[in-house]
C-alpha cells in the first residue's frame, strides 16, 4: 500500500502541509504532478513562461527526490484520466494534497475525491498556501470581512507561532517510496517551447524587506521582493515569509496579508471569480470597449509613457511593478472605459504570478467595483504618478527608449477629457445605487 501526494501550487519538499501529513501517515509516499490538459490546452501561447517555471520546479524536486532514492511521477493528461490509471497500477490507500481555492480546482478536487472513494482510497487536503483561510478570520458578528484594514487587524490579533510554524517534513524524508527515477515529459512533448527567461530568484533579501516601506513604490529601483511567482507556485513557504515579515517589516507583512485577504474574498464571494463585479451595481457601467484602443494598451502604444512602460515590461518579462499595475489598470478602465474583465484576462495570460484572487482583486479595486474600493471618482493622473514615482524617467526610459523621438505616439486620449467622460458614465450607471 502506498499514499500519493499530489503537488499543485505547492512545489517544494520542505514545510509543505499536505506532504508532511502524507509522509507521517506511515505508508510509502509517491509524489505526483499532473500537467493538466484542462488548463494547458487553453493556453494559446506555446512559449508560456509559467509552464517552463513549473517544469523547472518539478525538475528540482526530482533531483532532491533522487538523492533520497525516490522519484516524482509526472503525467501529462487530465486528472480524470490520470487517477483511474494510477489507482489501477498501485495499491493506493490515500491521496494527500493541499487546498486550492479557485473555482476550477474546487470542482476538480471534488471529482477526484469522489472517484477515490469509489476505489476505497481516502482523499485528504490541507491548508498550505495561506496563513488563514475560509472562516478563520471573521468579524465579531461572524461575517467575512470585505475591507482590508479591519481584516488585517483581526489577522494580526489571531496570528501566533502556531500558525507560522514550519512543518518539519525532513524528519520523515525516509518515507518516500523507494523506486527508480521516472522521466518527466519534456516541454516539447507537451507542445510547449522554452524561452531565455530569467526567473526572479527564490530568495528573500533581508535588505529589500527592511527598506520595503520607503522603496516599494518606485518601479525604477529594486524595492520589492519579486517573490510573487514563487508564492504563486509554492516554491517558497508562506509561513517562512510571514515570520521574516514579522521580524523585518510590518508594511511587507501587510502585503502578505493582502494575499490572504483576496483568497478570503474569492472563497466567500465566489461570484467575483465568475466575471461578476464584487459590487454588482458596477455591472451597469456602459463600457466603450473599443478594440483598437485595447490593442494599443496591450502593446504599450498609448502615448502615456508610464502606461506604455508598464505594458512593455509585462509583455517582455511577465512581471510588472505593483504601482504600475495600478496605473495601467486605472488607465484602461477609466481613461479608455474598457471593461476591467478585458484587462484581467490580458494580465491572466501574461503575468508569471497570475493568481485569480489577487488579479481579480487588483482589477476590481482599480475599476472601483471591488471590495475596499477606491472611490470611483479617483482617476489616476499618469503624469502626476510619473512625477511622484518615476521623477527621473528611469523606469520609463528603460522600456520606452524612443520616448523623445518622432516614433513615439501622441497621447491617445486627453486626460481632462477622459476624466470628465468616465465620471459621467460612472455617475449614470451608479445613480441611485
**Catalytically active residues, by annotation:** 255, 258, 287, 322, 340, 363
261 annotated ligand-binding residue: yes
224 binding ligand FAD? (CB under 6 A)? yes
Among 13, 74, 242, 256, binds ligand FAD (CB under 6 A): 256
Strand order in the sheet with 29-36: 73-77, 29-36, 2-7, 92-98, 122-126
Q: Shortest gap between Cβ of 224 and ligand FAD (angstroms)? A: 3
37 is in an annotated binding site: no
Q: Which of 308, 355, 372, 390 binds ligand FAD (CB under 6 A)?
A: 355
The minimum distance between CB 118 and ligand FAD, in angstroms, equals 36
Q: Was 262 annotated as part of a binding site?
A: yes
Q: Are 327 and 235 in contact (CB under 8 A)?
A: no
Tell me whether strands 2-7 and 92-98 are parallel, antiparallel or unpaired: parallel
User: Is 358 a residue that touches ligand FAD (CB under 6 A)?
Assistant: yes
Q: Tell which phi-psi region holds residue 142, choosing left (phi > 0), alpha (psi between -120 and 50) or beta.
A: left
Which residue's CB is nearer to ligand FAD, number 339 or number 355? 355
- Cell numbers standing for residue 95: 491521496
Residue 242 as a binder of ligand FAD (CB under 6 A): the answer is no
Q: Are 17 and 23 in contact (CB under 8 A)?
A: no
- CB 262, min distance to ligand FAD, A: 5
DSSP state, 69? T
What DSSP character marks residue 124? E
Q: Has 155 been labeled as part of a binding site?
A: no
CA distance 128 to 113: 18
- Strand partners of residue 415: none
Residue 72 near residue 65 (C-beta atoms within 8 A): yes
Nearer to ligand FAD, 181 or 205 (CB): 205
Q: Using the rule CB under 6 A, which residue among 242, 298, 326, 418 binds ligand FAD?
A: 326
Binding mask 286-325 for ligand FAD (x = CB under 6 A): ------------------------------------x--x
Q: Which listed range, 115-123, 170-178, 362-370, 407-415, lies at the site for ligand FAD (CB under 6 A)?
A: 362-370
How far CA 162 is from CA of 99, 167, 412, in Å, comes to 19, 11, 53
The answer to whether 108 is a known ligand-binding residue is: no
* Secondary structure (3-state) at 176: strand
Q: Biggest alpha carbon distance in the chain? A: 70
Number of C-beta neighbours around residue 237 at 10 A: 22
| Chain residues in the site for ligand FAD (CB under 6 A) | 216, 224-228, 231-232, 255-256, 258-259, 262, 322, 325-326, 329, 347, 351, 353-355, 358-359, 361-363, 366
List the binding residues for FAD: 212, 224-228, 252, 255-262, 353-355
Amino acid at each position: 500500500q502506498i499514499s500519493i501526494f499530489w503537488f499543485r501550487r505547492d512545489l517544494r519538499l520542505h514545510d509543505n502541509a499536505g506532504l508532511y501529513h502524507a509522509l507521517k501517515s506511515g505508508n510509502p509516499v509517491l509524489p505526483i504532478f499532473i500537467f493538466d490538459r484542462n488548463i494547458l490546452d487553453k493556453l494559446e501561447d506555446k512559449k508560456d513562461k509559467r509552464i517552463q517555471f513549473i517544469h523547472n520546479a518539478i525538475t528540482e524536486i526530482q533531483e532532491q527526490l533522487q538523492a533520497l532514492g525516490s522519484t516524482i511521477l509526472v503525467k501529462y493528461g487530465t486528472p480524470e484520466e490520470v487517477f483511474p490509471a494510477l489507482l489501477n497500477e498501485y495499491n493506493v490507500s490515500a491521496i494527500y494534497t493541499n487546498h486550492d481555492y479557485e473555482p476550477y480546482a474546487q470542482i476538480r478536487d471534488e471529482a477526484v475525491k469522489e472517484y477515490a472513494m469509489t476505489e476505497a482510497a481516502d482523499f485528504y487536503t490541507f491548508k498550505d498556501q495561506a496563513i488563514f483561510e475560509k472562516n478563520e478570520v471573521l468579524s465579531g458578528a461572524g461575517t467575512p470581512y470585505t475591507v482590508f484594514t479591519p481584516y488585517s487587524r483581526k489577522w494580526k490579533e489571531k496570528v501566533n507561532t502556531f500558525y507560522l510554524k514550519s512543518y518539519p517534513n525532513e524528519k520523515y524524508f525516509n518515507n518516500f517510496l523507494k523506486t527508480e527515477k521516472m522521466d518527466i515529459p519534456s516541454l516539447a512533448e507537451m507542445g510547449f517551447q522554452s524561452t531565455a527567461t530569467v526567473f526572479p530568484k527564490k530568495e528573500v533579501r533581508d535588505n529589500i524587506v527592511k527598506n520595503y516601506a520607503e522603496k516599494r513604490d518606485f518601479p525604477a529601483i529594486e524595492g520589492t521582493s519579486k517573490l510573487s511567482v514563487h508564492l504563486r507556485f509554492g516554491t517558497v513557504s508562506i509561513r517562512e515569509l510571514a515570520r521574516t515579515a514579522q521580524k523585518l517589516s510590518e508594511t511587507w507583512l501587510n502585503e502578505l496579508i493582502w494575499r490572504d485577504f483576496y483568497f478570503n474574498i474569492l472563497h466567500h464571494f465566489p461570484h467575483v471569480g465568475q466575471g461578476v463585479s464584487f459590487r454588482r451595481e458596477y455591472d451597469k457601467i456602459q463600457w466603450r470597449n473599443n478594440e483598437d484602443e485595447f490593442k494599443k494598451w496591450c502593446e504599450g502604444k498609448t502615448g502615456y509613457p508610464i502606461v506604455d512602460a508598464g505594458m512593455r515590461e509585462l509583455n517582455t518579462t511577465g512581471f510588472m511593478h505593483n504601482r504600475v499595475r495600478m496605473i495601467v489598470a486605472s488607465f484602461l478602465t477609466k481613461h479608455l472605459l474598457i471593461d476591467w474583465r478585458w484587462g484581467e484576462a490580458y494580465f491572466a495570460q501574461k503575468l508569471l504570478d497570475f493568481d485569480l484572487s489577487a488579479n481579480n482583486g487588483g482589477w476590481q479595486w482599480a475599476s472601483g467595483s471591488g471590495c475596499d474600493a477606491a472611490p470611483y471618482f479617483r482617476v489616476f493622473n499618469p503624469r502626476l504618478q510619473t512625477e511622484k514615482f518615476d521623477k527621473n524617467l528611469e523606469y520609463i526610459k528603460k522600456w520606452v527608449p524612443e520616448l523623445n523621438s518622432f516614433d513615439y505616439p501622441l497621447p491617445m486620449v486627453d486626460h481632462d477629457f477622459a476624466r470628465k467622460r468616465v465620471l459621467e458614465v460612472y455617475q449614470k450607471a451608479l445613480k441611485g445605487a
